[in-house]
């Protein structure tokens, strides 16, 4: 009798795991590169480090006047602004005072926690969240769970590498997203 209940509970757990896996895989795959299709503006942009093209996209948004302040979240603590973006002198319209390097976070959840404080201090009521399309599902869910409801968060997904992620890349992100779904949002 006890053995039957154990198998039943194990089967329920397996069904729950695979249901979450399928749901998160669909959600991760559904993210599209909004940087190509939408022309959003906001008070601030929050760029999540960790992939090619993200930081330069943030500086382009600031240069174009689509955001007033740029928060780069997850910067190596020993890095300077010119080390992470040596092209800055070519961006004549950008003032260094409009760029904030957040150096405390090392995870997507940490990015959200640290950026929330900075967004509040800068009095930003709207935020463009800049990251890769692969990372966007987990990032936007984490930021929305953490940020106050009166701060509007818009996605600005960019392509890092290929338009469609590889099998390994996709499945690593799905597992991370599953963990965050149970823990962070």
Model pTM above 0.75: yes
Predicted local confidence at residue 39, as pLDDT: 87
Round to whole Å and give the CA distance between 145 and 149: 9
Q: Which residue has the tokens 């909004």?
A: 34
Predicted local confidence at residue 1, as pLDDT: 63
Predicted local confidence at residue 38, as pLDDT: 87
pLDDT in tens, the chain (185 residues): 677 888 888 889 889 888 988 999 999 998 888 887 888 899 999 999 998 899 999 999 999 999 999 999 999 999 999 999 999 999 999 999 999 999 999 999 999 999 999 999 999 999 999 999 999 999 999 999 999 999 999 999 999 877 788 899 999 999 999 999 888 77
| Three-state secondary structure of 103-160 | CCCCCHHHHHHHHHHHHHHCCCCEEEEEEEHHHHHHHHHHHHHHCCCCCEEEEEEECC
Measure the N-to-C terminal CA separation of the chain; round to a whole number of Å.
37
Q: Using alpha carbons only, what angle is made at residue 33 by residues 113 and 169, rounded to the nearest 5 degrees?
A: 70
- Give the domains, in start order, of the chain with CATH numbers: 32-164 (3.40.50.620)
Predicted local confidence at residue 2, as pLDDT: 77
CB 20 within 8 A of CB 178: yes
């Amino acid at each position: 009798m006890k053995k039957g209940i154990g198998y039943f509970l194990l089967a329920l757990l397996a069904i729950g795991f695979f249901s979450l896996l399928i749901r998160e895989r669909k959600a991760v795959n559904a993210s599209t590169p909004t940087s190509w299709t939408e022309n959003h503006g906001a008070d601030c942009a929050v760029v999540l480090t960790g992939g090619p093209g993200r930081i330069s996209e943030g500086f382009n948004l600031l240069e174009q006047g689509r955001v007033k302040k740029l928060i780069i979240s997850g910067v190596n603590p020993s890095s300077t602004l010119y080390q992470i973006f040596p092209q800055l002198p070519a961006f004549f319209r950008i003032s260094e005072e409009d760029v904030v390097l957040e150096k405390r976070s090392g995870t997507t959840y940490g990015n959200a926690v640290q950026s929330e404080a900075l967004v509040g201090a800068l009095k930003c009521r709207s935020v463009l969240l800049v990251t890769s399309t692969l990372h966007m599902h987990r990032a936007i869910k984490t930021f929305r769970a953490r940020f106050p409801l009166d701060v509007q968060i818009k996605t600005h997904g960019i392509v890092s590498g290929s338009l469609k992620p590889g099998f390994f890349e996709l499945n690593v992100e799905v597992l991370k997203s599953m963990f965050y779904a149970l823990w962070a949002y």
